[in-house]
Amino acid sequence: MSMARPLRILLAAGGTGGHLFPAEALAGELVQQGLEVHLATDARGMAYGGAFPAQERHAIRAATPSGQSPIAFLKALWALSWGLVQSLQLVRRLKPDAVVGFGGYPSVPPVLAAWLLGVPTLVHEQNGVLGRANRFLARRVEIIATGFMDVKAVPDAVRFKTRIVGNPVRPAVLEAAEISYQPITTEGMINLLVTGGSQGARVMSDVVPKALALLPLSLKTRLAIVHQARGDDLAVAKQNYAEAEVTADIRAFFDDLPQRIAKAHLVIGRAGASTVAELGVIGRPSLLVPLPGSLDQDQAANAQSLARIGAATVIPQSEFTPDRLAALLERLLSHPSELTDSSVAAKSAGISDAAARLAYIVIDVAGLGKKRSNGL
């Protein structure tokens, strides 16, 4: 008698770290539980350097429809239509038991194809606002798993589908979460981590060094800075730190970023979903500058989830000036107990077993697919 094959799950994600990190964490959990995992993504996702535990990666054509020009919009629709044809072929060939979308337009064709072919589907929303891709798919999927408690822009008609699971984090983050927060001591070094998210952020390289230059010498001489800057901005960042007479470890990429977060007394950064999830699970205080101008204002919503409980201070980028930052840093670094309290608050918001929670839902939905195929 032939053995039944393991449940086969197709994950579909946009090609940025914000979409791929939680997909990678879920994939690891599913593989550990004996399931077979495949990944559908775009060209950027195919080039992703992480050790994504998928049996196979599948390239799907996609583009983001925007209002920039009618021609660009039509080109994007054409790419998505072609992606849907590819996805229909892929789903027919793989016969997955469930398809999970992680947002970004490359996730739309595979999830839509699965829905059209009667395969159970669900999406995971990492941000505090339901993204446009997931909003488009919301009426078609069985479950909308969310990273945050109160996600905005979820249509009332589908709110009953939402399940709060948190944002799955990578094993390296769970390892870093074991490291306790070490409060700032009277004469000890102060570890600051500056990060601009997966895309880097020029504003950090411009503002942070100039703010540090304004700090009293008694604080400035105790600073140990780790700064993740975009490749194009490395020269600017190095020059600004040199002018500020502050020593900093500046790189375009840190492969041990979770460990660096754990070592930090304070993190200054953007408020992408992965960053906010990692700050919560590891439990570190932060000063967050949400990405301005985004259509959904998702980073502002993410940042508020930590600010509401006293785990983060949020500064709009329009107010993120050297003077404002210097004043804030002087207050925070001179009152270490406030940062310690913020670290405890951040830890309370972290959901360290989000990958396991999401895996449980995926397996449940995939089991529904088995029952359908068996005519039960």
- Non-local (6+) Cβ contacts of 144 within 8 A are 122, 123, 125, 130, 134, 138, 154, 158, 161, 162, 163
Of 18-27, 135-144, 363-372, the poorest mean pLDDT is in 363-372
56: pLDDT strictly greater than 80: yes
Q: Tell me the C-alpha to C-alpha distance, in Å, between residue 45 and each of 11, 20, 36, 369.
A: 12, 8, 19, 27
Distance CA 328, CA 341 (A): 16
In this predicted structure, what is the pLDDT of residue 67?
A: 62
In this predicted structure, what is the pLDDT of residue 76?
A: 72
Give pLDDT tens digits for 241-285: 999 999 999 998 898 999 999 999 999 999 999 999 999 999 999
Give pLDDT tens digits for 324-347: 999 999 999 998 999 999 999 999
Distance CA 266, CA 10 (A): 38
Give pLDDT tens digits for 72-128: 777 777 778 888 999 999 999 999 999 999 999 999 999 999 999 999 999 999 999
Write out the two tokens for 256.
Answer: 């041990």
Give the residue range(s) of CATH 3.40.50.2000 domains in the chain: 8-169+352-373, 173-349
Q: Would you identify the CATH topology of the domain 173-349?
A: Rossmann fold (3.40.50)
The CATH number of 8-169+352-373, from 3.40.50.2000, 3.40.47.10, 3.40.50.720, 3.30.70.270, is: 3.40.50.2000
| Torsion sign (Cα): 289, 292, 297, 298 | negative
375: pLDDT strictly greater than 60: no
Angle between the 298-307 and 336-349 helix axes, to the nearest 10 degrees?
Answer: 110
- Identify the H or E element spanning 89: helix 70-94
Give the SS3 label for residue 245: coil
Share of the chain above pLDDT 90, in %: 77
pLDDT, averaged across the chain:
91
Distance CA 344, CA 284 (A): 8
The gap from C-alpha 101 to its chain's centroid, in whole angstroms, comes to 14
User: Cβ(87)–Cβ(115) under 8 Å?
Assistant: no
In this predicted structure, what is the pLDDT of residue 336?
A: 94
Of 12-21, 140-149, 188-197, 287-296, the poorest mean pLDDT is in 287-296
Q: Tell me the C-alpha to C-alpha distance, in Å, between residue 331 and each of 24, 27, 334, 338, 339.
A: 39, 42, 5, 9, 10
Write out the two tokens for 73.
Answer: 């919009």
Tell me which of 68 and 39 has the higher pLDDT: 39
Give pLDDT tens digits for 153-177: 999 999 999 999 999 998 999 999 9
In this predicted structure, what is the pLDDT of residue 140?
A: 97
